[in-house]
Each structure stands twice: as C-alpha cells, then as structure tokens.
C-alpha cells in the first residue's frame, strides 16, 4: 500500500509540475460539437520552444506545432472531430524525442439550455452601466494585492470606486421594476493598469474577469441569475487594442503582434479614409494601425495568430457564460477583412447571438458602410448586423433644442430617418442619447424636464433597439469634459451613501417623476408589438411638428401607435386629416402615459416641448 501512495504522489507531483511549467495555455479548455473543428492553443512558458508535442485522444488530432520568434511560445493546431467526446486528455511534451511531461487538457460538453444566447433585438431595452460606478456588492475585492493600481478614491473620476459584478447582481429587481430587459456593462475583463483601470477598455488578460469586479465563476453566475430573472446580457469586447500591462504585450510572441511604427503614431480617429475611394494609403494606415492612446497598443489583426487568439477568446466567453449579445468597441478602427471573417465565424457557432458595433461617425452613409449587406466597392460583406446609431443621437438634440428650418430642428430628425434605405435593416441599430463617453442627456437639454420626457418618449418609440445610460432614469447630469463626471457613482450603491436612488423613498419628487415616466413607457413597450417590431411610417414635418406611426401589422390584440413631437415653446393644434391612411379605422386615441382618452381624433392639442404617444383604437 505504501508503494501505491508513493507512485500516486510521484504521478500527481509530475502532473502539477507539468501544469505549472506553463504560465498560460489559452483557451484553458474547449468544447465538443463546435461548428469549426479547428482550435489553436497558445502555450506560454519560459524557453519552451525546444519542446515538441503529441497526443492520443479519440477524435482529436494535433495537426501542427508552430514555433515563433519568441522561444517562450508554442502554438498547437488541433482538429476536433464531430464525434469527439468530452473529457480530459494528456498533451505529451517531448524534449529531444523523449517524453518530458504531460499537460492535461479538457473538452467540455456544450450547454444547449434554451435560456442561453437568446439574442438582443428591437423588442428589448438595454441598460448600459459601468460596474465600478454602479454598486459595491463585495468590499473585500475593492483592492487586490499585486495589481498595479491600489488607489480607491470615490472623490476622483480617474481612480477605482469599488463597484463590482456582485453589486449589479444585487439590484436585478431594480432593473425589472424600471422595465429594462437587457444589461450591458462596460468591459469586466482584467485591466491591470496603473491609471484609470476602472473603465475596462485596456485589457491585460483576455481570459480573466478583473478580480476587483469578481471572478470568471461569478460572471457566469451573473449571466445565469439575470436569465433566471428574465434579463439578457450584452458583453462589451475590444478587438482593436489592449493595455500595455497585458502579459502578452510584455512578452510578445512576435514583433508584429501589435502594429509597430518607427516612432509612436496615434490614430487619426478619421473614419473617412477607410471608405474613401480617393483616400491615400498613408491616411488609411494611420487610421487603422495607429494606436488609440499610448497606453493601448494597436492589435495587428492581419496576423493570423492574433486573429485566432481574438476570435477564439470571444467564442470562449459566449459559450462559457451563455451571453446574449456583443457590443464591439471602436469598430471602424479594426481591420475590415478580419472583422468580416470574425463575424461569420461567430454567427456559425451562435446563430441567435446579437452583434452591434460602435461607430461614432459623422453621417448615415458612414454608419451604413460598416453594416452587413453593403458590399459595393468592398468585395466582401462585413456581416455586422447593426451599429450604435450616433447620427440618431446627434439629431435628437437638434430636434429638441434647435429651431425648425428647411434642414434644421425636427426636419433634421425626419431627414436622418429617411436615410434608413442605406441599411439592410435599421431596426438592428442601437439608438441612444448618451453613454459613458458623452455628456449626459439631461445636461444636453439644459435640465428641462419637459424636453427630457419628450426625448425619452422618442427613444422608446423610434425604430431600433433603445439603450439607456445608467442614471438617466433619475436625472443624473454633467458633461464629458473636463472632469469626467458623466461617470459618477449611482447614489445608493455603496454602504454609507446618504441616500439611495434605488428606492422611491430615496428619490426626489422630480426624480420619481422621471423614473416613473421611463418605467411606464418601458413596460408599455414590453407589451406593444407596434413599438417592438412595427413598421415605421413618418410624415414630413409641418408647422414645426413631426409625426410618425408604429404599426402592429394586424397582430391580434395589439394596437398601432401614433407619436407626435412638438419641440416648440408653445402648444399647437394638429389636424389629423393628412394621416387618414393610418387612422382610417381609428375611433379613439389613448394617451399611453396618462391613460386618458382624447376628446377628439381630428384636432389634437399638443403641449409645448412634448412628445405625445397615442394608442389607436
């Protein structure tokens, strides 16, 4: 018996030594039944280039072992057949043809539960939040030893505040009460950077949740708990860049893992050269290959190893956690051909997954250029279903704050919507009035509660997928420059906060007025086929008023909706005769917010600075 224990000890010790020989093996595990049978393992450890490898597991082949510039890396190309079974198997590493040690790798069975990877559509209402600034559910992870940033200071917009995933999980009932259907957090991935690490866009480990937010296991539980509560999850991912603190950047596999320049070169941030048929190649290269900022190296997405690494990482997170959609940061800055290939591969694995790209550009044509179906002069399809509709965001402020002119005021809004023919399907676009990089909606309309309600009504009734930024529902305010206060903490998310805006008792009367307005429309929208999926019919503005209809398309038990925007400082009368095509069977109109029945359907009084949302009966 003693000999058996000794043998077991030796075997276990050898395996532990083998597992610790490598700093990273990524992906850490994989799944059977994937559409793409190919898998490329990145293996990192001190001077491992002298090893070769082999394996013997039914349904799994080692096709090729790649040695690269850096002797601390090996890349293993595996092929996993459709009949491969889940289980652990040894990858045998050899030195000079002799076995040196085994590394245990695992294939798991895919989870096919119907609640996973549901997709996010125009039926949903997205709530965007920054986890560090929303709620602190676990104070034990506020500071983590060994990480570059140890400052915790809620008085500064540039340091950590302590919010985390558990804090978001603790408030799922709040989201449900508000009428939200989908949560989108800014990246939760590790950002081990010395400054401003809270925002999440300078990743330092692609396979690890930042320990100040939680763990991989907690993130998976967060998705599962959200699904159990009827909420969907969007994950925010970054292809274009990583942080200088990334372990790969500190010891790159090859020099061209990132885009290097003779001297530091920053992106021009100009999207035009990407689509301009007359563009100079130098301008295009500066846009695509220039670094976003000095602390965020630009990934070389033409490098096939980088392509595999990023694509597999995103597939890994979706399959691991069961998330419903992806938001793609800085989409125009990425290599176009790679992004098209990436999207095709993700759609093959997850047909129900929703994807939308951040496109902070300056025209509808520019936005549409990046979406799928626009193959003219490109030679390929981007496969990108939708974008963040920055042009809709810009024009809403013109509609609410501007004065009506031939192309100004509400006419600008009408004009932007009229260009939806450029998209394959504009209802896939995410519409928003602000986010973590922009001045808050309430400040941009000069803290006018009437304009606020008018804008919220437009957000909830316009085509597309509406997105709220955290705190909009309680009138949080401030401008993006110079102090970053648009990323202030949600009041009540921290023990010791003087008041909690998560409850009606902690909100002022005006904050409750705003919250209730948002909630009323959000819950109505959840039951309205017209607002979720209905065809949009808009009319040319007259007398400074803009009118559109959302049609329920004959859906049993659902009503069409009429929306009337009067942005001016005085009440106006709207004669409905010109809308006969949409109102021919209407015998009454109900104000969706107040529930009141209008006295007439012919001449409607529209109060100043108001968007009426009317149900047609």
Does residue 425 fall inside a structural domain?
Answer: yes
82 phi and psi angles, rounded to 5 deg? -65, -25
Does residue 461 fall inside a structural domain?
Answer: yes
- Of the pLDDT bands very low, low, confident and very high (cuts 50, 70, 90), residue 10 is very low
Q: For residue 289, give the nearest of 261, 308, 270 by alpha carbon.
A: 261
In the chain, pLDDT over 90 holds for what percent of residues?
Answer: 92
Domain termination residue (choose one: 108, 143, 168): 108
First to last CA, the chain: 84
Evaluate if pTM is beyond 0.85.
yes
Q: Based on the structure, what is the number of domains in the chain?
A: 3
Instruction: Say what the pLDDT of residue 20 is.
Output: 60
Structure tokens at 210: 């930042």
The Cα angle at residue 482 between residues 481 and 483, in degrees rounded to 5? 105
By three-state DSSP, how is residue 524 classified? helix
Edge-to-edge strands, sheet with 98-108? 30-31, 98-108, 87-95, 51-55
Does residue 279 fall inside a structural domain?
Answer: no
The pLDDT tens digits for 313-340 are 999 999 999 999 999 999 999 999 999 9
Which position has the token pair 């045998």?
92
The pLDDT tens digits for 501-545 are 999 999 999 999 999 999 999 999 999 999 999 999 999 999 999
Sign of CA dihedral 370, 371, 376, 378: positive
Residues 425 and 514 in one domain: yes
Q: Who wins on pLDDT, 555 or 213? A: 213
Structure tokens at 343: 């999207």
Does residue 548 fall inside a structural domain?
Answer: yes
Domain termination residue (choose one: 108, 137, 162): 108
Which position has the token pair 């938001």?
327
Average pLDDT value for residue range 444-473: 98
Burial pattern 418-437, b for ≥16 Cβ within 10 A else e, equals eebebbeebbbbbbbbbbbe
Catalytic residue among 132, 138, 349, 358: 358
Residues 443 and 461 in one domain: yes
Average pLDDT value for residue range 19-26: 85
433 phi and psi angles, rounded to 5 deg? -105, -15
Structure tokens at 128: 């965007």
Q: Are 57 and 106 a contacting pair, CB within 8 Å?
A: no
Structure tokens at 212: 């100040």
Average pLDDT value for residue range 448-468: 98
- The rounded mean pLDDT for the chain is 95
- Is position 329 annotated as part of the catalytic site? yes
What residues does 73 pair with on adjacent strands?
A: 44
- Is position 301 annotated as part of the catalytic site? no
DSSP code for 149: -
Catalytic residue among 329, 335, 568, 615: 329
Domain termination residue (choose one: 108, 138, 159): 108
Which position has the token pair 């009319």?
539
Structure tokens at 323: 């998330």
Structure tokens at 243: 């942080």
Task: Spell out the residues 6+ positions from residue 11 whose beta carbon is closer than 8 angstroms to its own.
Answer: none
The pLDDT tens digits for 80-130 are 999 999 999 999 999 999 999 999 999 999 999 999 999 999 999 999 999
> Domain of 23?
2-108
């Amino acid at each position: 018996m003693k000999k058996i224990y000794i043998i077991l000890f030796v075997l276990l010790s050898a395996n532990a030594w083998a597992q610790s020989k490598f700093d990273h093996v990524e992906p850490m595990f994989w799944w059977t039944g994937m559409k793409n049978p190919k898998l490329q393992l990145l293996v990192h450890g001190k001077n491992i280039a002298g090893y070769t490898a082999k394996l013997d597991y039914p349904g799994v082949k080692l096709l090729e072992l790649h040695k690269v510039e850096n002797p601390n890396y090996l890349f293993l190309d595996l092929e996993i057949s459709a009949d491969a079974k889940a289980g652990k198997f040894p990858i045998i590493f050899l030195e000079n043809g002799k076995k040196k040690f085994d590394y245990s790798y695992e294939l798991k069975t895919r989870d096919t539960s119907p609640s996973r990877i549901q997709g996010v559509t125009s039926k949903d209402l997205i709530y965007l939040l920054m986890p560090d600034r929303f709620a602190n559910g676990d104070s034990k992870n506020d500071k983590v030893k060994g990480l570059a940033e140890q400052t915790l200071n809620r008085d500064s917009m540039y340091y950590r505040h302590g919010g985390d995933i558990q804090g978001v999980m603790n408030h799922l009932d709040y989201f449900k009460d508000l009428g939200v259907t989908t949560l989108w957090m800014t990246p939760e991935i590790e950002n081990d950077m010395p400054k401003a690490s809270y925002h999440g866009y300078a990743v330092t480990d692609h396979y690890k949740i930042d320990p100040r937010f939680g763990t991989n296991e907690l993130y998976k539980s967060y998705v599962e708990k959200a699904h159990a509560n009827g909420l969907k999850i969007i994950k925010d991912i970054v292809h274009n860049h990583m942080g200088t603190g990334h372990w790969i950047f500190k010891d790159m596999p090859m020099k061209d893992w990132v885009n290097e320049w003779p001297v530091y070169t920053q992106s021009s941030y100009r999207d035009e050269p990407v689509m301009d048929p007359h563009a100079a190649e130098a301008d295009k290269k500066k846009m695509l290959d220039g670094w976003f900022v000095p602390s965020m190296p630009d990934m070389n997405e033409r490098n096939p190893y980088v392509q595999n690494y990023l694509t597999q990482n995103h597939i890994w997170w979706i399959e691991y956690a069961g998330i419903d959609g992806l938001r793609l940061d800085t989409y125009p800055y990425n290599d176009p051909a790679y992004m098209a290939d990436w999207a095709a591969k993700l759609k093959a694995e997850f047909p129900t997954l929703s994807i939308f790209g951040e496109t902070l550009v300056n025209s509808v044509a520019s936005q549409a250029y990046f979406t799928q179906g626009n193959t003219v002069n490109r030679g390929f399809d981007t496969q990108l279903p939708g974008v963040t509709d920055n042009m809709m965001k810009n024009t809403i402020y013109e509609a609410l704050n501007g004065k009506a002119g031939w192309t100004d005021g509400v006419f600008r809004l009408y004009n932007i919507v009229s260009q939806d023919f450029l998209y394959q399907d504009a209802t896939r676009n995410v519409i928003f009035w602000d986010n973590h990089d922009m001045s808050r909606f309430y400040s941009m309309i000069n803290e006018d509660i009437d304009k606020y309600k008018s804008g919220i009504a437009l957000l909830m009734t316009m085509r597309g997928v509406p997105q709220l930024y955290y705190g909009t529902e309680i009138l949080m305010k401030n401008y993006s420059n110079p102090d970053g206060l648009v990323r202030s903490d949600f009041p009540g998310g921290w023990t010791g906060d003087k008041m909690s805006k998560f409850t009606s008792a902690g909100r002022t009367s005006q904050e409750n007025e705003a919250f209730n307005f948002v909630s009323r429309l959000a819950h109505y929208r959840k039951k309205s086929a017209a607002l979720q999926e209905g065809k949009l019919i808009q009319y040319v503005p007259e007398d400074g008023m803009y009118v559109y209809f959302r049609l329920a398309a004959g859906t049993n038990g659902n009503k069409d909706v009429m929306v009337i925007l009067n942005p001016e400082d005085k009440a106006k009368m709207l004669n409905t005769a010109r809308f006969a095509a949409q109102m021919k069977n209407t015998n009454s109109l109900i104000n969706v917010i107040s529930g009141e029945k209008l006295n007439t359907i012919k001449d409607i009084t529209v109060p100043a600075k108001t968007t009426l949302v009317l149900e047609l009966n």
